[in-house]
Amino acid sequence: MQKIHISSLKNYVGQEVTLQGWLFNKRSSGKVRFVILRDGTGYVQCVFFKGNLDEETFDLADKIGQESSIEITGKVKEEPRAVGGFELDGTGLQVIQDAKDYPITPKDHGIEFLLDNRHLWLRSKKQVAIMKIRHRVVKAVRDFFDERGFTLMDPPILTPNSVEGTSTLFETPYFDLGSAFLTQSGQLYAEAGAMALGKVYTFGPTFRAEKSKTRRHLTEFWMIEPEVAFADLNDDMDLAEEFLEYVVQTILKEKEEELKVLERDTTSLQKVMKPFPRISYDEAVEILKKNDVNFEWGNDFGGGDETIISNQFDRPVMVHRYPAEVKAFYMKRDPENPKLALAVDVLAPEGYGEIIGGSQREDDLDQLLSRIKEHNLPQEPFEWYLDLRRYGSVPHSGFGLGLERTVSWICGLDHLRESIPFPRMIYRNTP
Ligand code: 4AD
Ligand code: MG
């Protein structure tokens, strides 16, 4: 018997095939048993008529528990009313392992219970759809940069210093060398890469010991960080908007079915087309004031502020030139106003907040040395980074896109925890 996957049923109409998978759901009525099988590529209903198979097998269809692993043989029929558009006229059923009392039943469960059972929860229809979209986002990200001459360069995860401030560092003992830190960002290494290869991007796990318990924060998340030599802040914003348009439009085109499973209203996503509005931090502060927010110039925006700002626009908005004091040490100051950093944050619509943070980098050795001092960072671990300013320094820029924030936004999730297979948060590092 031909063993196939549910996704290729369309090529086997009228033929008898064997499918292997898990029992998603079942019901019975009189002389008929309905079994819905899932195999990771889709869902299909198999119908067993009493006369078509031996008594024992027919009874089996009623007894096996949800999520039992099974093998089904049957004839493929086109059936527009069924899930996936096909149905199997069952002739055989074999149980590989009969699962009893699967903990996640079709009834509602609390979020903590589901997170405790994340290893099983991943099998649910919605979670499968999210993982497929995440996978497609990852591919779109790679395609975008690969097609534009960027080289993927993997930065280290164990590092000797901080990138995004010292308050969110995970520290680990490192043999005779004292401490190592889990990387907060691959950026500094991407800068070395840009000086070697011109255009690079990193794509890997990053870590923040975030004490905040918000729906936008994980302690372990994946970041995509392009870095480009001879690019200024405007070039950086051009790249960011082209990139986001590409990723979102690709998902709309190729993951329509999964977005439907998630009941995602895609009206807002369809508008993600360049050009995106570009406003300065000062203009963003004006927006907050007009909306009666008591906001002091010089502070960073909170999640609520970001929502108010982004609600003024119908697509992602790029906010540039932040007060240097709230931004990282490596950002170049605005030559027109040294109080400002040549930074940009891209805020997603629908209250999803910052998904991209980027900047033009400080390329002058003396300026960078003063920044390191001002931020109370030790100079020694940054000597290699300073070398990039000693040997052929050039203007350069880049940004970081948070994968989970992007997937959450595209999928319309209300918390980042469902956008990654096994979320890590302040109160959770299991399963
Ligand atoms: O704004 P961030 O901190 O920027 C950097 O790390 C720069 N080094 C990037 C660069 O210029 N190469 O982080 C970038 C993005 C954020 O916009 C957000 O999408 C995501 O990373 N991010 C988080 N995602 C989930 N959980 C967290 N705790 C995150 N912190 C940042
Ligand atoms: Mg940021």
Q: What is the 3-state secondary structure (H, E, C) of the chain?
A: CEEECHHHHHHHCCCEEEEEEEEEEEEEECCEEEEEEECCCCEEEEEEEHHHCCHHHHHHHHHCCCCCEEEEEEEEEECCCCHHHEEEEEEEEEEEECCCCCCCCCCCCCHHHHHHCHHHHCCCHHHHHHHHHHHHHHHHHHHHHHCCCCEECCCCCEECCCCCCHHHCCEEECHHHCEEEECCCCHHHHHHHHHHHCEEEEEEEEECCCCCCCCCCCCEEEEEEEEEECCCHHHHHHHHHHHHHHHHHHHHHHCHHHHHHCCCCCHHHHCCCCCCCEEEHHHHHHHHHHCCCCCCCCCCCCHHHHHHHHCCCCCCEEEEEEEHHHCCCCECEECCEEEEEEEEEEEECCCCEEEEEEEEECCCHHHHHHHHHHCCCCCHHHHHHHHHHHCCCCCEEEEEEEHHHHHHHHHCCCCHHHCCCCCCECCECCC
The residue written with tokens 């919605």 in the block is 126
Closest CA to 26 of 41, 10, 38, 16: 38
* Confidence at residue 1, expressed as pLDDT on a 0 to 100 scale: 78
Q: Does the bond joining 275 to the residue before it have cis omega, within 30 degrees of 0?
A: yes
Q: Residue 14 has what pLDDT?
A: 97
Angle between the 233-254 and 403-411 helix axes, to the nearest 10 degrees? 50
112 pLDDT higher than 90: yes
Mean pLDDT of all residues in 30-48: 96
Predicted confidence (pLDDT) at residue 83 exceeds the cutoff of 90: no
Q: Is the pLDDT of residue 189 over 90?
A: yes
Question: From the CB of 210, is ligand 1 less than 6 Å away?
Answer: yes
Q: Is 164 in the pocket of ligand 1 (CB under 6 A)?
A: yes
The Cα–Cα gap between 225 and 375 comes to 23
Beta bridge partners of 207: 220
Residue 406 Cβ < 6 Å to ligand 1: no
What whole-number distance in Å separates Cα of residue 372 and Cα of residue 384?
13
Query: Which ligand 1 atom minimizes the distance to the CA of 187?
Result: 12
Ligand 1 atom 7, closest CA: 400
Strand duo 333-334 + 317-323: pairing: unpaired
Question: Does the Cβ of 425 fall within 6 Å of ligand 1?
Answer: no
- Spatial contact of 409 and 260, defined as CB atoms under 8 Å apart: no
pLDDT of residue 360: 99
Which numbered ligand comes closest to the C-alpha of 200? 1
Tell me which residue has its CA closest to atom 6 in ligand 1: 185
What pTM was computed for the model? 0.97
Mean pLDDT value across residues 393-416 = 98
Of the pLDDT bands very low, low, confident and very high (cuts 50, 70, 90), residue 161 is confident
Ligand 1 and 220: CB distance under 6 A: no
Closest CA to 251 of 405, 133, 408, 419: 133
Question: Relative to the alpha carbon of 224, which ligand is closest?
Answer: 1
Mean per-residue pLDDT, 362-370: 98
CA proximity to 427, closest of 271, 213, 273, 243: 213
Statement: residue 41 has pLDDT above 90:
yes
pLDDT score for 162 = 84
Structure-block tokens of residue 385? 């980074």
Contact 357 CB / ligand 1 (< 6 Å): yes
Share of the chain above pLDDT 90, in %: 94
Average pLDDT over residues 2-31: 96
What integer pLDDT is reported at residue 210 of this predicted model? 86
Q: Any idea which of 99-108, 133-142, 388-397 has the lowest mean pLDDT? A: 99-108
d(CA 378, CA 357): 24
CA triple 80-84-90, angle to 5 deg: 85
Q: Decide: 207 and 219 in contact? Cβ < 8 Å.
A: yes
Stretch 279-298: mean pLDDT: 97
Average pLDDT over residues 260-274: 98
Tell me if 187 CB under 6 Å of ligand 1. yes
As a whole-number percent, the residues of the chain with pLDDT over 70 amount to 100
Supply the pLDDT for residue 286: 98
Mean of pLDDT values over 333-354 = 97
pLDDT bracket for residue 213 (50, 70, 90): confident
Exposed, middle or buried by CB within 10 Å (0-12, 13-18, 19+), for 292? exposed
Over residues 94-101, mean pLDDT: 97
- pLDDT the model gives residue 107: 85
Whether the per-residue pLDDT at 139 is higher than 90: the answer is: yes
356 pocket-lining for ligand 1 (C-beta < 6 Å): yes
Across the range 221-240, mean pLDDT stands at 98
Q: Which amino acid is at 430?
A: T
pLDDT average, residue stretch 7-29: 96
Q: How far is the CA of 376 from the centre of ligand 2 (A)?
A: 20
> Among 243, 248, 208, which Cα is nearest to 352's?
248
**Counting atoms of ligand 1 from 1, which one is nearest the CA of 219?**
28
Q: What is the mean pLDDT of residues 88-98?
A: 97
Tell me the mean pLDDT in the region 16-26.
97
Q: How confident is the model at residue 106 (pLDDT cuts 50, 70, 90)?
A: confident
Average the pLDDT over 66-73 and give the result. Answer: 98
In ligand 1, the atom with minimum distance to the C-alpha of 354 is: 17
Of 32-46, 52-66, 195-209, 252-266, give the lowest mean pLDDT range: 52-66
Which of the ligands is closest to the CA of residue 184? 1
| CB distance 217 to ligand 1 below 6 Å | yes
- Residue of 405, 410, 418, 419 to mutate, ligand 1, most atoms within 8 A of C-beta: 405
* Whole-number Å distance between alpha carbons of 70 and 89: 16
